[in-house]
């Protein structure tokens, strides 16, 4: 089955309304150019800052989530809504909400939190504000099953393999890597997860914003089940478009039967 994907690599500012307006325009453009599945970046309506997360946080029925539902309905697309800071039962989560034609399919709360300290380069501790999700996330859509992980989740192969074992053929990663880790690991991790899972992998980053306190790496990318980079952006605001054929997943899995030959699969289940 063929599918046209769009990753909206948008610039994120401190103005939530401006961010929502920019996201709406990019989703509109993507839909007008035939995209059936559209992806927004991690924290698309919020600066990537611990102190900003509580200020920008919303509940599951909040304005930003209703906004995503309406975009999906208006443009009759599958919309993977990047992520927003979600407030739920006294906790904050980094959460991706997923819709198809306006219908709510579910959400993924970031499973692995970004706690790193590279002296002299970058230090960030999401766990000082955010709570971890408890589940891996696979959603049934009209094009087949898709899995979603968020940014730091990308570093943990088991999560992506399990989503493939749960039926996903396309894995999506809203992410905000940075100029320290991005040049070293971004392409490598995306290609590795595609090979591990024998799935297509689509990753959507915010654009690089020079005055932001946290600099996103950009370089949104789509990778084939063979581990080939099909298309990749630079760092500026832009929409990535890629046509994929999900039938290729079955072909790759037949030719190199990693998942079916995996002796750990029964233990994962």
The set of catalytic residues is 42, 110, 151
- Pick the closest to residue 16 from 71, 58, 75 (CA basis): 58
Residues composing the chain: 269
- Pick the closest to residue 109 from 157, 148, 167, 78 (CA basis): 148
Checking 33-36 for CB contacts under 8 A at 24+ apart, the result is 33/6, 33/239, 33/241, 34/4, 35/4, 35/5, 35/6, 35/77, 35/241, 36/3, 36/4, 36/5, 36/77, 36/78, 36/143
- Pick the closest to residue 93 from 139, 59, 47, 45 (CA basis): 59
Gap between the Cα atoms of 130 and 36, Å rounded: 32
Gap between the Cα atoms of 227 and 201, Å rounded: 9
Place of tokens 């300290």: 117
Strands 221-223 and 229-232: antiparallel
Q: How far is the CA of 33 from the CAs of 6, 38, 126, in angstroms? A: 9, 11, 36
Strand partners, 3: 244
Residue 200 three-state SS: strand
- Pick the closest to residue 212 from 179, 174, 175 (CA basis): 179
Strands 137-141 and 103-109: unpaired
């Amino acid at each position: 089955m063929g599918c046209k994907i769009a990753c909206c690599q948008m610039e994120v500012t401190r103005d939530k309304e401006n961010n929502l307006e920019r996201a709406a325009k990019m989703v509109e453009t993507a839909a007008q150019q035939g995209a059936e599945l559209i992806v927004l970046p991690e924290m698309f309506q919020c600066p990537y800052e611990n102190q900003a997360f509580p200020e920008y946080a919303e509940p599951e029925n909040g304005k930003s989530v209703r906004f995503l539902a309406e975009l999906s309905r208006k443009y009759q697309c599958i919309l993977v809504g990047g992520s927003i800071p979600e407030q739920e039962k006294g906790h904050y989560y980094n959460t991706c909400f997923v819709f198809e034609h306006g219908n709510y399919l579910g959400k993924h709360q970031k499973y692995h939190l970004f706690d790193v300290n590279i002296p002299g380069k970058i230090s960030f501790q999401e766990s000082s504000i955010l709570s971890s999700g408890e589940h891996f996330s696979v959603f049934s859509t009209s094009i087949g099953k898709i899995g979603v992980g968020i940014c730091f989740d990308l570093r943990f192969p088991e999560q992506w393999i399990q989503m493939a074992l749960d039926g996903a053929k396309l894995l999506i990663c809203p992410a905000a890597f940075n100029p320290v880790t991005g040049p070293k690991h971004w392409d490598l991790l995306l290609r590795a997860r595609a090979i591990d899972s024998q799935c297509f992998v689509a990753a959507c980053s915010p654009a690089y914003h020079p005055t932001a306190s946290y600099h996103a790496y950009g370089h949104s990318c789509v990778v084939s089940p063979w581990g080939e980079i099909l298309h990749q952006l630079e760092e500026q605001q832009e929409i990535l478009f890629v046509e994929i054929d999900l039938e290729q997943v079955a072909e790759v899995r037949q030719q190199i039967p990693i998942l079916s030959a995996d002796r750990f699969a029964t233990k994962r289940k």
